[in-house]
Chains A and B, each alone.
Chain A
Amino acid sequence: MTKLKFRFSRKAFAYPYMIFLLLFVVVPLVIVLINAFLGDDGKLTFANFAEFFSDKGGGLTVLGNSLIIGFVTTLICLVIGYPCAYFLAKYHASNKVLVLLFILPMWVNFLIRTLSTKAIFMALDVKLGMGTVMFGMVYNYLPYMILPLHTTLVSIDHSYIEAAEDLGADRFTVLWKTVLPLSVPGIVSGITMTFIPAISTFAISEILSSSKIFLFGDAINMHFSKTTNSFGVGSVMSLVMLFMVIIANVLVSLTEKKEEVKSSL
């Protein structure tokens, strides 16, 4: 009986956002899904998938290049980012300014950052190409690697490290056998937070190679432009992108579950 009455619960505050999600996330996704199966004549077809997977428009080649660039970017970010995050965590208590220094670039609009990077390269007479694009990628995505790592490393209970030291581990062994395994969740979320945007980016490659290096994001962008007008293939590529995002998220949740099991033991 009380169910009939309208109760203004806290849930109601979530409705605007639910509607927003429905309108601007779910509906567009459905449109993309429909478009992927629509031919030029408006009939149901698998031609768009055939065109993409046969590499007729070079889409598969671009995907390959993007995956390589994304992989290398993530690797470099991890190699640079982990020590950074480690030392930031170590001196965190004494120096918060240091952390700020690493976050600061993220406050500047990323287009402005990238355009300035290009201006610097041009002034130094550096030829734009793969090297400059890689620099731009690492420069832009490094904070996305450092932040999750930093969060995890800071939250590691210091008594684990002290215990390891007490048991006679040298500094390297402490890092290798204690800190590293405990920071795996941070590493995984850092990798996904770097890899996914890195393979879908288009502005960085466009600006830092004068559009010479063409990435998956560029290709999707081009398919949806008015002059090329090939929404179908573009939609297929968007779905491929979405598929990779889902895989990444599944991987993240898998590692998180493992952690839960570990900590409950």
Chain B
Amino acid sequence: MRKILPIFLCAVLLLSVAVSAAACNPDNVPTDELVVYNWADYIYDYKDDFYAYYKSLTGRNIKVTYVTFDTNETMLAKIMQGDAKVDVICPSEYAIQKLLEKDLLLPLNYFDEDKYVADMQADFAKYVHNGGNVDRNVLGKIDEAFGAVSVEGQDGTRKMSDYMVPYMYGTLGILYNKYAFIDSGIYDYGIMNKANWGILFNDDGDGNLLSNGLTGNILMKDSIRDSYAATLFYLKESGKLDGLTSTDESSSYYGKAYSELSVGEFINAVDDQLLSLCQQALTQQKEQLFGYEVDFGKDDLLKGNAMVDLAWSGDAMYAVEESWDDSLCAACSEERGERVYGEEQRDENGNKYYVCKHCQEECGDYELSYYVPHSAGNIWFDGWAIPKNTYNPEHLNAIKIFINFLNSPRVAAENMMEIGYSSAVDPEAVRQDADARATLSRVYLVDCDYWDKKDENGNDVAEFDYGSWEEFEEYFFDSRDVMDNSNWRYPFVLSDDETRALETLGVMRDFGVNNKAVVTMWNYARSTGENALPLLGWTALVLVVAAGIIVLCEYIKRLRNSKIKIAPAASGGESPDKSDE
């Protein structure tokens, strides 16, 4: 038996290899390859769709190897060393800038070519990357932020948009528990828009505490870049930079007052003066903090451990959607300035629902909300790029088709649903595309096949989040938050709106030579503020008290011993009896 088992296992192994080989190539069609290097969880389940798409265009099979990274820095290190054999990458804009400066990217400027090519299989080179679908606002913003990029060892300058195809973008803002804000009396348009980024520092905009309730309930992102941006904005708003001018001699705005810089310039300003002010603000902020978070503070916010968190829009959107509470009455809570819960009711099928006793309406609201301060904010973009030194030239067509695939409106809709951030594909293109609408409908169960279907008891087969496509469309594309008057998902949609000018959103570039200074500042801010000296003081006090008590006890004991010295004679008489026994 013992000898048969290994043979049997070998046979099974061989068989499975043969089967899998056959499965890979069932119809003898040539197979192309593609290696994608992307953030983890940053794409929908694209495989079947992409394989079908690829085959329809080329008549060939494709094998995608999907590798992930967790920080831009990991990705940068791998690409710069050139030891990762990857064809296409999807980092943040500042990392793309870094790679471009080192002359490590292949141009990707297909946006101006014709949208349709008659015979795609014959001429891939002319094949256009759904360029028409990419939101021009996004491309414009990227080029505005990075300007002319000079490349190492090359003459002239380059445009960022020629080297990246934008994928997803989002803003940096404040995720907060709306009902905790209502309880604290700060859920108010005037108060919040005066405090702006001061909310993270519990500053009402005048240097006073915004609310006692916020103390010890603020979460800060454990991320240098995001925290630095938020702190800079706070310094400017709170007037701590009034009258100060830039001391950065290498910048074009040296000597200019900080208040005169555009948001795009200001968010990238680093100099000793700003660093020391930032450090001060961050150290002071510690008294107000619940702590620093690495993932995102959704759980802490929902559990009530914290009220405020610095967050990206996609994480925030996800957290907000998760925070639905059937029993909260939004209108009455806001009006009365405290949480108003409805009373539990049951419909004829036994399903729970809540009705408010004040307004008699059915209840339900999102407990969390997201706020992008009016004064200034940060917008970021992730995009696809081809690293010159690691891509396989034989895979170039597959790379182009992959990027093209990602820019089709339906895939953009799928990705938005899966990831939560905004796709760089023009919202109008998504809104008009029948497949994209079907995708969104399926996810939110609007207007789908189940619409009128009932089970044998006469109940709806599926529960609908929205009554109709129009209702959903309004929510998805046009919903504007009452507090910051902005569209979380599509900040560009409101670009012509007077309350949220695009100029208030800046793109952050790489810190460059200043990186070390910022890191040192952040380390210092994280290290100081919470001092252990009081602990030492308390310990010393306890030790002194304990020593005092021992000495006192000893003293009393001796005192008693000397007093009853005559007495032992009585007890001394008993002990010999005992020893006799």
Given A68-B533, A72-B536, A212–B291 Cβ distance below 8 Å?
yes
Q: Tell me the chain B residues, 532-581 only, with Cβ under 8 Å from chain A.
A: 532-536, 539
A62 to B528 alpha-carbon distance, docked (Å): 7
The answer to whether B74 has its CB under 8 Å from any CB of chain A is yes
Given A59-B527, A61-B527, A134–B535 Cβ distance below 8 Å?
yes
Verify B524–A230 contact, CB threshold 8 A. no
A66 to B305 alpha-carbon distance, docked (Å): 26
Verify A65–B292 contact, CB threshold 8 A. no
A176 to B216 alpha-carbon distance, docked (Å): 46
Closest to B300 in A: A210
The answer to whether B509 has its CB under 8 Å from any CB of chain A is no
Nearest Cβ in chain A — how far from B454, in angstroms? 44
Given A130-B535, A226-B71, A226-B77, A213–B523 Cβ distance below 8 Å?
no
Nearest Cβ in chain B — how far from A117, in angstroms? 15
Q: Mark B37-51, 1 if CB is under 8 A from A, else 0.
A: 000000000000000
Verify B286–A68 contact, CB threshold 8 A. no
Q: Can you list 10 contacts pairing A with B, beta carbon distance less than 8 Å?
A: A58-B526, A59-B523, A62-B527, A68-B532, A69-B532, A75-B539, A210-B292, A212-B286, A222-B523, A222-B526
The answer to whether A127 has its CB under 8 Å from any CB of chain B is yes
Verify B528–A68 contact, CB threshold 8 A. no
Closest to A223 in B: B523
Verify A212–B532 contact, CB threshold 8 A. no
Size class of the B contact interface (CB-based, 8 Å): 35 or more
Looking at B219, B290, B303, B523, the one whose CB has the most chain A CB atoms below 10 A away is B523
A189 to B385 alpha-carbon distance, docked (Å): 57
Q: Mark B273-314, 1 if CB is under 8 A from A, else 0.
A: 000000000000010011111100000100101000000000
Nearest Cβ in chain A — how far from B546, in angstroms? 9
The interface of chain A, by Cβ under 8 A from chain B, is: 40, 51, 56-59, 61-62, 64-66, 68-69, 71-72, 75, 122, 127-130, 134, 209-214, 218-219, 222-223, 226-230
A231 to B371 alpha-carbon distance, docked (Å): 37
Nearest Cβ in chain A — how far from B299, in angstroms? 10
Nearest Cβ in chain A — how far from B123, in angstroms? 42
Closest to B519 in A: A228
The answer to whether B28 has its CB under 8 Å from any CB of chain A is no
Q: Mark B188-220, 1 if CB is under 8 A from A, else 0.
A: 000000000000000000000000000010010
Verify B73–A227 contact, CB threshold 8 A. yes
Q: Mark B498-536, 1 if CB is under 8 A from A, else 0.
A: 000000000000000001100110111111101111111
Nearest Cβ in chain A — how far from B522, in angstroms? 8
A100 to B74 alpha-carbon distance, docked (Å): 45
A-B CB proximity, top 7 nearest: A210-B291, A58-B527, A57-B523, A58-B524, A65-B532, A211-B292, A68-B532
Closest to B217 in A: A127
The answer to whether B222 has its CB under 8 Å from any CB of chain A is yes
Q: Mark B163-177, 1 if CB is under 8 A from A, else 0.
A: 000000000000000
A227 to B300 alpha-carbon distance, docked (Å): 25
In-complex Cβ contact of B523 among A128, A209, A219 (8 A): A219
Residues of chain B contacted by A68 (CB below 8 angstroms): 532-533, 535-536
A40 to B514 alpha-carbon distance, docked (Å): 13
A68 to B532 alpha-carbon distance, docked (Å): 6
Verify B527–A57 contact, CB threshold 8 A. yes
A56 to B524 alpha-carbon distance, docked (Å): 7
Verify B516–A230 contact, CB threshold 8 A. yes
Verify A229–B290 contact, CB threshold 8 A. no
Verify A211–B224 contact, CB threshold 8 A. no
Nearest Cβ in chain A — how far from B491, in angstroms? 26
In-complex Cβ contact of A228 among B224, B292, B528 (8 A): B224
Q: Tell me the chain B residues, 208-262 only, with Cβ under 8 Å from chain A.
A: 216, 219, 222-224
Given A58-B524, A214-B527, A229–B73 Cβ distance below 8 Å?
yes
Closest to A228 in B: B519
Verify B528–A61 contact, CB threshold 8 A. yes
The interface of chain B, by Cβ under 8 A from chain A, is: 71, 73-74, 77, 216, 219, 222-224, 286, 289-294, 300, 303, 305, 515-516, 519-520, 522-528, 530-536, 539
Verify A128–B524 contact, CB threshold 8 A. no
Nearest Cβ in chain B — how far from A75, in angstroms? 7
Nearest Cβ in chain A — how far from B386, in angstroms? 23
Verify B531–A65 contact, CB threshold 8 A. yes
A72 to B540 alpha-carbon distance, docked (Å): 10
Verify B530–A211 contact, CB threshold 8 A. no
Verify A210–B71 contact, CB threshold 8 A. no
Verify B532–A227 contact, CB threshold 8 A. no
In-complex Cβ contact of B292 among A62, A212, A227 (8 A): A212
A58 to B527 alpha-carbon distance, docked (Å): 5
Closest to B73 in A: A226
A212 to B220 alpha-carbon distance, docked (Å): 10
A30 to B353 alpha-carbon distance, docked (Å): 66
Nearest Cβ in chain B — how far from A190, in angstroms? 18
Closest to A119 in B: B303
In-complex Cβ contact of B535 among A62, A69, A211, A222 (8 A): A69
Residues of chain A contacted by B515 (CB below 8 angstroms): 229
Verify A57–B292 contact, CB threshold 8 A. no
A227 to B294 alpha-carbon distance, docked (Å): 13
> Knowing that A72-B536, A210-B219 are A-B contacts, what are 12 other residue pairs whose CB atoms are under 8 Å apart, sorted by A's residue number?
A68-B535, A71-B536, A128-B290, A210-B292, A210-B293, A211-B222, A211-B291, A212-B289, A219-B527, A222-B526, A227-B223, A230-B516
Verify B526–A214 contact, CB threshold 8 A. yes
A57 to B525 alpha-carbon distance, docked (Å): 8
Verify B535–A57 contact, CB threshold 8 A. no
Given A58-B527, A122-B305, A212-B291, A64–B532 Cβ distance below 8 Å?
yes
Residues of chain B contacted by A226 (CB below 8 angstroms): 71, 73-74, 77
Verify A122–B519 contact, CB threshold 8 A. no
Closest to B531 in A: A65
Nearest Cβ in chain B — how far from A94, in angstroms? 26
Verify B292–A122 contact, CB threshold 8 A. no
Nearest Cβ in chain B — how far from A228, in angstroms? 5
Verify B530–A213 contact, CB threshold 8 A. yes
Residues of chain B contacted by A51 (CB below 8 angstroms): 520
A58 to B522 alpha-carbon distance, docked (Å): 9
Residues of chain A contacted by B292 (CB below 8 angstroms): 210-212
Nearest Cβ in chain A — how far from B61, in angstroms? 36
Residues of chain A contacted by B73 (CB below 8 angstroms): 226-227, 229
Looking at A51, A68, A122, A229, the one whose CB has the most chain B CB atoms below 10 A away is A68
Nearest Cβ in chain A — how far from B556, in angstroms? 14
Closest to A211 in B: B292
Looking at B224, B523, B532, B539, the one whose CB has the most chain A CB atoms below 10 A away is B532
Closest to A70 in B: B532
Residues of chain A contacted by B536 (CB below 8 angstroms): 68, 71-72
A56 to B219 alpha-carbon distance, docked (Å): 25
Verify A130–B532 contact, CB threshold 8 A. yes
Closest to B523 in A: A57
Residues of chain B contacted by A130 (CB below 8 angstroms): 530, 532, 534-535
Residues of chain A contacted by B523 (CB below 8 angstroms): 57-59, 219, 222-223, 228, 230
Verify A58–B528 contact, CB threshold 8 A. yes
Residues of chain A contacted by B527 (CB below 8 angstroms): 57-59, 61-62, 214, 219
A25 to B51 alpha-carbon distance, docked (Å): 48
Residues of chain B contacted by A230 (CB below 8 angstroms): 516, 519-520, 523
Nearest Cβ in chain A — how far from B97, in angstroms? 16
Nearest Cβ in chain B — how far from A124, in angstroms? 12
Verify A72–B535 contact, CB threshold 8 A. yes
A61 to B529 alpha-carbon distance, docked (Å): 10
